[in-house]
């Protein structure tokens, strides 16, 4: 009996699918490369905390490597590498988004709270956040202000050790029982309460709002700003801390903005390393994915892509070329979180350390509002990964009817292109401190490189 059981077990393991660890697939040298790769990745995260900063960093890198770029309003950018085959044969496109959840300043943000003797900026949160994540953490201000005279003032305040930082105050536990503790988690901290403390020293004199006046005078002295200038501004409050190694073994990265700058960086590196590809390739970096890709710098702006294609070949039938094109929607998936296993369908969930995640579909409630890649295209991408010995896994976002989420994939599939989502797993997604595995980030880079060469 024992021998029969052994044979049955052997037969089952032979034909069953088993997720493989990236740590087992990658060689010692590749793991070393992964750790080295992530050193520059962390620098990118620190230097590109907003979409404008990401565009600047991506553009600088492309120019240093003599790559052709096209910028859309300083919030979206494309890198183009011409291929051996004519553009009429279609393109290879990797698209990622460079915006992240954050707190945006309102257009008239500054006010003084006379009861507490502090001045604050009012905010409006951007993207899907848990509001309680954003209280009491150190925040930096990034962005631009366009003054009355048309001059642009750039802000990056709170990143250096000598800079002041900002924060949203919270209530002490001694007094929070009736105000917060008995409420639902999403009601305990409201959107209107996410105001940032910006100062407390009043000016001398007998008049109201002396702290607000003091802040306005400081802003005018240091930056030449008036209160009206904030109306024409884009100022974002983002976590002030740096990307860091996590764990005794330093195998993980904890940082703000890894959704989706993990994919943006991996695709940037992949196209920088690309030489003489078969097909013309485009790495596209877009804005406002976290708020539904609405706006003129997003994945829905097909005129930006069409203008790129027309520059490559003015005589090209753009629609026909797009029908022949293949796309990787470079976006992350949710990593199984140890404290909350119940929300994941574990056979079809992503885990840290198992390589790049291939997501056939996204969406919610019956695959609503999703791209659903064809079996043929899934097989093609899967074969590409297997042939390249690139660690990979497949996943969906949580149990059916338990939630869900979308990516930019659907906008490109509407153009007739083959599209699939491919990116690393992220734990604590949309929090101010997201977690990834170094081998997954590196596997994502390898996957994009293999795709762009195909």
Our CA angle for 35, 429, 134, nearest 5°, is: 115
pLDDT at 10 over 80: no
pLDDT tens digits, 225-279: 999 999 999 999 999 999 999 999 999 999 999 999 999 999 999 999 999 999 9
Q: Give 61-109 pLDDT, tens digit per residue.
A: 999 999 999 999 999 999 999 999 999 999 999 999 999 999 999 999 9
Tokens of 72: 């859309």
Q: What is the pLDDT of residues 122-166, one digit of tens each?
A: 999 999 999 999 999 999 999 999 999 999 999 999 999 999 999
Distance CA 407, CA 419 (A): 11
Q: What is the pLDDT of residues 164-221, one digit of tens each?
A: 999 999 999 998 998 898 988 889 999 999 999 999 999 998 889 999 999 999 999 9
Task: Provide the CA 292 distance to its chain's centre, in angstroms.
Answer: 14
pLDDT band per the 50, 70, 90 thresholds, residue 402: confident
Percent of the chain residues past pLDDT 90, beyond the cut = 88
Tokens of 361: 């579909």
- Mean pLDDT score across all residues of the chain: 94
Residue 426 C-alpha from the chain's centroid: 10
Reply yes or no: is the peptide bond before residue 310 cis, omega within 30 of 0: no
Rounded to an integer, what distance in angstroms lies between the CA atom of residue 423 and that of residue 434? 15
| pLDDT band per the 50, 70, 90 thresholds, residue 363 | confident
Residue 280: C-alpha distances to residues 59, 79, 93 (Å) = 19, 11, 9
Q: What is the pLDDT of residues 310-341, one digit of tens each?
A: 999 999 999 999 999 999 999 999 999 999 99
Domains of the chain (ranges plus CATH)?
A: 19-100+256-453 (3.40.630.10), 102-239 (2.30.250.10)
With bands split at pLDDT 50, 70 and 90, how would you rate the model's confidence at 413?
very high
How much is the pLDDT for 314?
Answer: 94
In angstroms, the Cα distances linking 37 to 133, 190, 262, 414, 436 are: 29, 39, 12, 34, 14
pLDDT at 58 over 90: yes
* Distance of alpha carbon 214 from alpha carbon 201, whole angstroms: 7
The Cα–Cα gap between 141 and 162 comes to 14
pLDDT of res. 6:
53
């Amino acid at each position: 009996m024992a021998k029969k059981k052994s044979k049955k077990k052997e037969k089952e393991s032979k034909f069953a699918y088993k997720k493989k660890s990236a740590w087992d697939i990658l060689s010692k040298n590749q793991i070393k490369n992964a750790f080295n790769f992530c050193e520059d990745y962390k620098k990118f995260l620190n230097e590109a905390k907003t979409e404008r900063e990401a565009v600047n960093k991506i553009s600088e890198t492309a120019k240093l490597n003599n790559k052709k770029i096209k910028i859309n309003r300083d919030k979206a950018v494309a890198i183009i590498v011409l291929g051996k085959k004519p553009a009429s044969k279609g393109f290879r496109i990797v698209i990622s988004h460079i915006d992240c959840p954050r707190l945006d300043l309102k257009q008239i943000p500054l006010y003084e709270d006379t009861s507490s003797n502090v001045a604050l900026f009012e905010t409006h949160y951007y993207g899907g956040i848990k509001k309680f994540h954003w209280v009491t953490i150190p925040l930096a201000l990034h962005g631009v202000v366009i003054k009355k005279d048309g001059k642009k003032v750039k802000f990056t305040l709170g990143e250096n050790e000598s800079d002041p930082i900002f924060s949203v105050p919270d209530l002490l536990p001694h007094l929070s029982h009736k105000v917060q503790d008995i409420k639902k988690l999403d009601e305990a901290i409201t959107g209107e309460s996410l105001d940032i403390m910006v100062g407390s020293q009043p000016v001398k004199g007998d008049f109201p709002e002396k702290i607000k006046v003091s802040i306005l005078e400081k802003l005018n002295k240091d930056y030449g700003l008036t209160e009206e200038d904030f109306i024409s501004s884009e100022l974002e409050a983002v976590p002030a801390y740096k990307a860091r190694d996590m764990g005794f073994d330093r195998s993980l990265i904890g940082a703000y903005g890894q959704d989706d700058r993990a994919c943006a960086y991996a695709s940037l590196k992949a196209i920088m390393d690309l030489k003489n590809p078969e097909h013309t390739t485009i790495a596209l970096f877009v804005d406002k994915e976290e708020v539904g890709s609405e706006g003129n710098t997003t994945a829905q702006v097909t005129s930006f892509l069409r203008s790129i294609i027309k520059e490559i070949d003015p005589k090209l039938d753009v629609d026909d070329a797009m029908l022949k094109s293949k796309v990787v929607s470079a976006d992350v998936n949710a990593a199984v979180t140890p404290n909350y296993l119940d929300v994941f369908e574990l056979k079809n969930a992503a885990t840290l350390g198992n390589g790049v995640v291939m997501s056939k579909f996204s969406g919610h409630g019956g695959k609503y509002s999703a791209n659903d890649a064809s079996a043929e295209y899934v097989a093609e991408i899967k074969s590409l990964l297997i042939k390249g010995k690139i660690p990979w896994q497949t996943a969906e976002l949580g149990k059916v009817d338990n939630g869900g989420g979308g990516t930019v994939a659907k906008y490109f599939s509407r153009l007739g292109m083959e599209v699939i989502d491919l990116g690393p797993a992220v734990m604590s997604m949309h929090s101010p401190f997201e977690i990834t595995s170094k081998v997954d980030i590196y596997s994502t880079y390898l996957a994009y490189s293999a795709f762009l060469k195909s």
